[in-house]
Chains A and B, each alone.
Chain A
Amino acid sequence: MMTPLHKQLLNDYQRNFPLSPTPYQDIATELGVSEIEVINALTELNETDVITRIGPVIPPNRIGVSTLAAMAVPEAQLHDIAQIVSAYPEVNHNYEREHRFNLWFVIIASGAGHLQQVIARIEQQTGYSVMSLPLVDDYFIDLSFRMDLHDC
């Protein structure tokens, strides 16, 4: 069950999390509650997997090289191929989407050579080709947005 404090933490602290020695105390002061309440609420959100973590979002291609990759695989094999792809530590955000290209994932590697290597190994291991769509221009990468949590 979500309390008003949970909801405030979720919507108001996706960005500009305090960079101070006592960030949870700072948040508590801003919200008029105690530090332990903030810590408990965030721990609950973390343990129930509502948040994945508190941390930074790093823009693509600033440190390392990344690409968006897609594969078109038969429905019957999708689950197995998705498991193969997900097993790569370089892969994140692996999703099934409704399209002929039905498997979409992001690869992050240390450099262009490493990225090519990962793509080649996935192709070899699965027997299907990987369409690589590296970023050309970024108009907006934020990933924080205001959620309507009234019915949570």
Chain B
Amino acid sequence: MIVDVKDRQLLEAFQQGLAISPRPYADLGNRLGLSENEVIERLDRLKQAGLIKRLGVIVRHRKLGYRANAMVVWDIPDEQAREFGRRISSFEFVTLCYRRPRHGAGWPYNLYCMIHGKNRETVLEQLSVLEQACKLSGFKREILFSRRCFKQRGAIYQNAAPLIQPALANG
């Protein structure tokens, strides 16, 4: 799929938040010189192509009592990361799971997952369930609970972005 300049402008504007008014896509179009219909068609196409992963209300978990957030990292043989990643992702309390490069002796971890819970005890219980079910107990692992949140903003990419990437099946 080709993402043109209009698509990019549309995504940028849309990431600022949809108006909470009766014809929000028409409002969005007015700012960009697009008709309501064109806005909806383009967004639909971007969604089909996977450039919009999800569309909806974006919640501040902390405000709703989900105060404990743990980033859990494991050192897993690279060739097994995908299989473990898939298993970990199947748990409902897991909100993110990915592989990243190791970084020297001080950071030997390559598999990450994020667990949100109302408190630390719940998160640790969920982690222990997950580790048992996924047979993860033999691997080196650390739990990084979050403390202060200094900035939380959606992944709004920069206006300067000249880069238009064709959508590939798996990014």
Which residues of A are in contact with B by a Cβ distance under 8 Å?
9-10, 13-17, 19-25, 35, 39, 42-43, 45-46, 48-66, 68, 70, 82-83, 85-86, 89-101, 104-106, 108-111, 114, 131, 133-149, 151-152
Whose C-beta in chain B lies nearest to the C-beta of A91?
B151
Q: List 17 A-B contacts (CB under 8 A).
A: A10-B57, A14-B56, A15-B56, A16-B55, A21-B26, A51-B57, A57-B154, A64-B161, A82-B150, A90-B158, A93-B152, A93-B153, A94-B152, A97-B144, A105-B151, A108-B155, A142-B53
- List residues of chain B with CB within 8 A of the CB of A143: 54, 58, 95-96
Contact across chains for A62 and B167 when beta carbons are under 8 A apart: yes
Within 8 Å of chain A (Cβ to Cβ): is B132? Answer: no
Taking a contact as CB atoms closer than 8 A, the residue among A19, A135, A144 that contacts B43 in the complex is A19
Taking a contact as CB atoms closer than 8 A, the residue among A13, A70, A101, A136 that contacts B98 in the complex is A136
Contact across chains for B44 and A19 when beta carbons are under 8 A apart: yes
Number of interface residues of B (CB under 8 A): 84
Which residues of B are in contact with A by a Cβ distance under 8 Å?
3, 8, 11, 14-18, 20-26, 36, 40, 43-44, 46-47, 50-61, 63-66, 71, 81-82, 85-86, 88-89, 92-101, 103, 106-107, 110, 116, 118, 142, 144-158, 160-165, 167, 171
Contact across chains for B98 and A139 when beta carbons are under 8 A apart: yes
- List residues of chain B with CB within 8 A of the CB of A16: 55-56
Contact across chains for A133 and B100 when beta carbons are under 8 A apart: yes
- List residues of chain B with CB within 8 A of the CB of A21: 23, 25-26, 36, 40
Contact across chains for A51 and B59 when beta carbons are under 8 A apart: yes
CA distance A68 to B96 in the complex (A): 13
CA distance A15 to B101 in the complex (A): 30
Residue among A50, A61, A137 with max Cβ neighbours from chain B (10 Å): A137
Contact across chains for A52 and B152 when beta carbons are under 8 A apart: yes
Q: Chain B's nearest CB lies how many Å from the CB of A63?
A: 6
Contact across chains for A135 and B100 when beta carbons are under 8 A apart: yes
Contact across chains for A53 and B16 when beta carbons are under 8 A apart: yes
- List residues of chain B with CB within 8 A of the CB of A111: 161-163
- In the complex, the number of residue pairs spanning A and B with C-beta atoms less than 8 Å apart equals 277
- List residues of chain A with CB within 8 A of the CB of B26: 21
- List residues of chain A with CB within 8 A of the CB of B8: 63
Whose C-beta in chain B lies nearest to the C-beta of A88?
B151
Whose C-beta in chain A lies nearest to the C-beta of B164?
A63
Whose C-beta in chain B lies nearest to the C-beta of A99?
B144
- List residues of chain A with CB within 8 A of the CB of B92: 145-146
Contact across chains for B148 and A42 when beta carbons are under 8 A apart: no
Q: Chain B's nearest CB lies how many Å from the CB of A80?
A: 11
Q: Chain A's nearest CB lies how many Å from the CB of B5?
A: 12
Contact across chains for A54 and B18 when beta carbons are under 8 A apart: yes
Residue among A15, A21, A109, A152 with max Cβ neighbours from chain B (10 Å): A21
CA distance A62 to B157 in the complex (A): 10
Contact across chains for A17 and B57 when beta carbons are under 8 A apart: yes
Contact across chains for B158 and A106 when beta carbons are under 8 A apart: no
